[in-house]
């Protein structure tokens, strides 16, 4: 049976520069996010892939978690680690999946995440670069 690719990605940093070893909190966070997204229902579970990655340059605010999807804004959150953060990320995942361009104002994001946002990268930047490369 062909595997269906998921349209949205949540990526968790699993490396810690100060130790150079696998980041156990990051791996735990991946398992917690997978469980929370699955518990949120089949629509969300079928839309999101949760995986790990190396450093996302947020080392002073671990754990770091990124959201991305094609033609949508990307987000990087830091200081993620508590059970309440997992609930807020799941709530944000639902919002992110529903929003066509992925853009959100601070007031629209879950309260716990408002000061944990480290970057929001509009999709237009990525689209512009892709368009430029096609013209060359």
Please give the residue ranges that form the binding site for ligand FES (CB under 6 A): 13, 15-17, 55-59, 62, 64
Kindly tell me which of 34 and 53 has the beta carbon lying closer to ligand FES: 53
Query: Among candidates 29, 36, 26, which has minimal Cα distance to 92?
Result: 36
How many residues comprise the chain?
Answer: 136
* 113 contacts: CB under 8 Å, gap ≥ 6: 77, 85, 88, 89, 92
Query: Among candidates 134, 104, 135, which has minimal Cα distance to 121?
Result: 104
Kindly tell me which of 43 and 54 has the beta carbon lying closer to ligand FES: 54
Kindly tell me which of 118 and 126 has the beta carbon lying closer to ligand FES: 118
Q: How far is the CB of 63 from ligand FES (least distance, A)?
A: 7
Q: How far is the CB of 118 from ligand FES (least distance, A)?
A: 10
Q: How far is the CB of 122 from ligand FES (least distance, A)?
A: 22
Q: How far is the CB of 133 from ligand FES (least distance, A)?
A: 28
Query: Among candidates 104, 111, 118, which has minimal Cα distance to 84?
Result: 111
**76 to 1, 64, 65, 67, 134: CA distances (angstroms):** 34, 7, 6, 7, 28
Kindly tell me which of 3 and 19 has the beta carbon lying closer to ligand FES: 19
């Amino acid at each position: 049976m062909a595997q269906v690719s998921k349209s949205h990605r949540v990526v968790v940093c699993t490396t810690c520069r100060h130790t150079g070893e696998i980041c156990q909190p990051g791996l735990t966070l991946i398992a917690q996010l997978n469980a929370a997204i699955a518990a949120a229902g089949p629509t969300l579970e079928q839309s999101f892939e949760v995986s790990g990655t190396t450093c996302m340059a947020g080392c002073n605010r671990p754990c770091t978690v990124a959201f991305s999807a094609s033609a949508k804004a990307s987000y990087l959150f830091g200081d993620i680690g508590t059970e309440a953060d997992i609930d807020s990320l799941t709530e944000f995942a639902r919002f992110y999946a529903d929003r066509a361009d992925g853009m959100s104002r601070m007031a629209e994001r879950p309260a716990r995440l408002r000061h944990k946002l480290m970057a929001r990268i509009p999709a237009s930047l990525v689209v512009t670069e892709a368009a430029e490369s096609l013209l060359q």
